[in-house]
C-alpha cells in the first residue's frame, strides 16, 4: 500500500512490497467508455485506415490523396503538441483491467497499433476478446505468431496486476497449437498460477470458438524498485520519464531520489 493508502502496484511493473495475500483482484464491470478520452476515437480511425492500407484494393490515386491528407493531419497534431511526452497513467489494480494501460499496443484503446483486446476480470482470471484485422496477418488468413506472443505477454502481465502480483516478463513460452484466423472473433484467457519468492508464474490461452489455437506460460519477476530505477536511468530515459519514475517510486514510499539522470538532465 502506498503512503496515501493506494494499492501497491506501479505503472512500471514494480510493487510497494504489500503482502500479496492482502490484495484483491480488480472488478469485472465496464472499462473506460470510448467517449471519455478523445484519443480513443482517433486511434480507432487510424486503426481503420491501417486495415484499409494493408488489405483493401484501393486505387493508387486514392492512396496518394489519402497520403496528403494524413501528412497534413500529422503536421497539425505536431504543431499543436506541447513540450515533452504525455504522462503515462497509473494502473489501479482494484479498477477495471481495460484501464491499466490506455496506450498499450495490445489492450490500449488510445493506441492505434492495438487490435485492441477487450478485457475483464471473471472469477479472478483475465478474460478477453479480440478480432485481428489484415494488418496482423502472418501466413495467409492467419494471425502472425509474433502478434500472438505480444498479446500473451500483455494479457499475462495484466492478469498479474489484477491478482496483485505485478512483475516484468522473464521468460515467455508460447505453444502454437493450430493456425489462428484473422477477421474472426477470438477468446483469450490469462491467470496468475503461483509465486515463489520473486518469481511469478502465469498461464494463458487463445481460442477460436472452442478450439485452442495457442497457449502460453510466463515467468515474471517482481522488480526491486531501486534496481529498476537505476536500470531505466542507464538505458537513456529522458528527464521527463525519469521524473515520472521517481514520482511513482515516491508515491509507493520506496525512495527514488538517487536514480542516475537521463540524457536530458
The pLDDT of 79-106, averaged and rounded, is: 82
> For the chain, what are the domain ranges?
7-223, 224-265
pLDDT the model gives residue 250:
63
**CATH architecture of the region 7-223:** Roll (3.10)
CA distances from 92 to 32, 124, 165 (A): 13, 15, 13
> Which of 122, 123, 111, 121 lies closest to 150 in space, CA to CA?
111
pLDDT the model gives residue 253:
53
CB 233 within 8 A of CB 262: yes
User: Rounded to the nearest 10 degrees, how much is the dihedral formed by the CA atoms of 109, 105, 165, 96?
Assistant: 10
Strand, coil or helix: what is 212?
strand
Whole-angstrom distance, CA of residue 3 vs CA of residue 107? 29
pLDDT the model gives residue 61:
97
Q: 39-48, 84-93, 202-211 — which is least confidently predicted?
A: 84-93
CB 109 within 8 A of CB 38: no
> At what angle are helices 225-234 and 239-251 packed, to 10 degrees?
180
The pLDDT of 201-224, averaged and rounded, is: 95
What pTM was estimated for this model as a whole?
Answer: 0.80
Whole-angstrom distance, CA of residue 52 vs CA of residue 134? 8
Q: 71-75, 143-147, 255-259 — which is least confidently predicted?
A: 255-259
Mean pLDDT is highest, among 73-87, 88-102, 171-185, for: 171-185
> Which of 257, 263, 247 lies closest to 4 in space, CA to CA?
247
Three-state SS string over 139-179 comes to CCCEECHHHHHHHHHHHHHHHHHHCCCCCEEEEEEEEECCC
- Name the DSSP letter for residue 209: T
Amino acid at each position: 500500500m502506498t503512503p496515501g493508502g493506494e494499492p501497491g502496484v506501479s505503472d512500471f511493473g514494480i510493487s510497494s512490497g504489500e503482502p500479496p495475500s492482502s490484495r484483491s483482484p480488480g472488478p469485472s464491470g465496464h472499462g473506460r467508455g470510448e467517449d471519455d478520452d478523445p484519443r480513443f476515437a482517433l486511434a480507432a480511425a487510424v486503426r481503420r485506415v491501417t486495415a484499409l492500407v494493408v488489405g483493401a484494393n484501393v486505387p493508387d490515386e486514392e492512396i496518394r490523396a489519402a497520403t496528403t491528407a494524413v501528412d497534413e493531419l500529422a503536421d497539425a497534431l505536431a504543431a499543436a503538441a506541447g513540450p515533452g511526452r504525455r504522462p503515462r497513467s497509473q494502473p489501479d489494480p482494484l479498477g477495471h483491467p481495460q484501464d491499466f494501460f490506455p496506450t498499450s499496443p495490445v489492450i490500449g484503446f488510445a493506441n492505434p497499433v492495438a487490435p485492441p483486446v477487450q478485457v475483464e476480470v471473471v472469477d479472478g482470471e483475465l478474460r478477453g476478446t479480440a478480432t485481428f484485422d489484415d494488418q496482423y496477418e502472418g501466413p495467409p488468413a492467419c494471425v502472425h505468431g509474433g502478434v500472438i506472443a505480444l498479446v500473451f505477454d500483455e494479457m499475462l502481465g495484466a492478469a498479474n496486476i489484477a491478482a496483485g502480483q505485478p512483475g516484468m516478463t522473464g521468460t515467455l513460452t508460447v505453444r502454437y497449437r493450430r493456425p489462428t484466423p484473422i477477421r474472426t472473433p477470438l477468446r483469450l484467457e490469462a491467470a496468475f498460477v503461483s509465486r515463489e519468492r520473486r518469481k511469478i508464474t502465469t498461464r494463458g490461452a487463445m481460442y477460436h470458438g472452442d478450439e485452442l489455437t495457442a497457449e502460453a506460460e510466463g515467468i515474471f519477476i517482481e522488480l526491486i524498485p531501486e534496481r529498476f530505477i537505476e536500470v531505466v536511468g542507464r538505458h537513456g530515459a529522458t528527464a521527463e520519464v525519469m521524473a515520472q519514475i521517481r514520482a511513482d517510486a515516491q508515491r509507493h514510499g520506496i525512495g527514488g531520489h538517487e536514480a542516475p539522470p537521463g540524457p536530458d538532465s
